[in-house]
Chains A and B, each alone.
Chain A
Amino acid sequence: MSESTRTVPRQPAPAGELTQADIDRRMAREREAYEKGLAEGAEPSHHPRRDYAPYRSSALRHPTQPPVAVDTRLDPEAAELSSPAFGDTDVTELDSDLTRQHQGEPLGERITVSGRLLDREGRPVRGQLIELWQANASGRYAHQRDQHPAPLDPNFTGVGRVLTGDDGSYAFTTIKPGAYPWRNHANAWRPAHIHFSLFGSAFTQRLVTQMYFPGDPLFAYDPILQSVTDEAARARLVAAYDHDLSRPERSLGYRWDIVLDGPAATWIEEGR
């Protein structure tokens, strides 16, 4: 045991509160059930289950009836096959640089996050809106309900927007968010993450998700990340550090490509 762990006593959980060990057992059960299914020939699931018990807030907020299937191939007039549009009035140039939205510079490690927004056939999603929000370098959100004891940063709000380019590309400059505690169970901590909201060319492709940073030691403890029971799918939520994207004496570069699920009006193009 290292010097530092010996000097920090383990905090017992208050009576009745779930411990990390309780949550770990539940997450292991979910993972085993999923892997057993895979071994028996089930399709991999790309998305989290909505009734993932280790994430306790899901208990009363997931439907118990199976979803009703809508086959859009039989229904080309479905409104969901097109998407809201956004344009130049909906973003300002400063929106993609979260370090320049106040008088001073925010504290923390300056980073860039960039990549491409694609559909499942690998085609770029052009001119669409990406929104993001995140905690500051101390792990605190500029949100009144986040009252955990970490400082706010007057020079950081943590909200950004951008429209994707013709090749689906996007880029943000921000600071690396901190990990933060939450109340799912005793001593619950979220790994550092950035929340993303994405639109596709069809409303069916709508996505809200979270991007993580490589090598975070909190991954295994986090029921939100582990709600994605497929290991390969979880890996797709983790950005890659890309040294070529780092700028000398300025910022560290992360790359994260995003692939939207859901059918779109994918008509054959001329000559294809």
Chain B
Amino acid sequence: MSTRTPHAPVPHAPTPSHTIGPFYGYALPFPGGPEAAPYAHPDTVTVHGRVLDGAGAPVPDALLEFWGPDADGQLPQQGGSLRRDPVTGGFLGRNGVDFTGFARVATDADGHWAIRTLRPGARGPHAPYLSVCVFARGLTHHLFTRVYVPGDSPATGTDPLLAALPPERRATLLATAEPHATYRFDLRLQGPDETVFLEFS
């Protein structure tokens, strides 16, 4: 059975984080970045929302990354999110067949974003969720959170993270179902309804 190393060697000091700044827009977003679901896949869901600052104003220069499993809870180890074109140096877009589990989307001028991915399956004791990493101008160190996608999983009551949160904080991690397999998830960086952000150790 695999276990954690009991006496880790003296760790190397990590490279500090820095803000993504205002000018990543021509470097990091890529065609097909928000479209992680293979074409016409029956498990496709749309997840969308806005990123808001402490004054409730939209954040038009945030970049969100999503990482999550397929409907069976399997995390892919599959390249091909960016698929470059060696002829033009541009992008071919995803191949429409493989699921990489990774989506990247920049917010628009209204702070809005949308991705299409596969409905995540439950893993272990967890309710189904997508992991989210938030970057923005003005944010010196990225923020992790999770978007829990409601479904028929019984685990929402027993998920170890959700269960440990008071109800009003828990609500910030739950996407709201809308018609057509669409889910709404707003991210509030600061303020009374501030999203729960996570620190992994």
Residues of A within 8 A of B (CB): 46-50, 52, 55, 57-65, 67-80, 82-95, 101, 118-122, 131-133, 135, 141-143, 145-146, 157-159, 161, 195, 197, 203-204, 206-210, 224-225, 227-228, 230, 232-234, 236-237, 258-263, 266-268, 272
Complex CA–CA separation, A70 to B200 (angstroms): 5
**Interface residue B151 (Cβ < 8 Å from any Cβ of A):** no
How many inter-chain residue pairs (CB < 8 Å) link A and B?
269
Interface of A is mostly: loop
**Interface residue B12 (Cβ < 8 Å from any Cβ of A):** yes
Residues of B within 8 A of A (CB): 2-5, 8-9, 11-28, 53-55, 57, 59, 65, 67-69, 75-86, 89, 92, 100-102, 120, 123-126, 129-131, 133, 135-144, 160-161, 164-165, 169, 189-191, 194-201
Contact, CB under 8 Å: B81 / A90: yes
Contact, CB under 8 Å: B126 / A263: no
Contact, CB under 8 Å: A118 / B12: yes
A146's nearest neighbour on chain B, judged by CB, is B23
Chain A residue numbers with a CB within 8 Å of B59 are: 61
Shortest CB-to-CB span from A100 to chain B, Å, is 10
Complex CA–CA separation, A183 to B140 (angstroms): 17
Please judge, given known A-B contacts A85-B76, A203-B67, A263-B201, whether A64 and B194 are in contact too, CB under 8 Å. Answer: yes
A66's nearest neighbour on chain B, judged by CB, is B199
Complex CA–CA separation, A60 to B21 (angstroms): 15
Chain A residue numbers with a CB within 8 Å of B131 are: 79-80, 203
Complex CA–CA separation, A189 to B129 (angstroms): 41
Complex CA–CA separation, A87 to B16 (angstroms): 26
Chain A residue numbers with a CB within 8 Å of B195 are: 63
Complex CA–CA separation, A158 to B89 (angstroms): 14
A183's nearest neighbour on chain B, judged by CB, is B22
Please judge, given known A-B contacts A61-B189, A62-B189, A118-B12, whether A85 and B199 are in contact too, CB under 8 Å. Answer: no
Shortest CB-to-CB span from A101 to chain B, Å, is 7
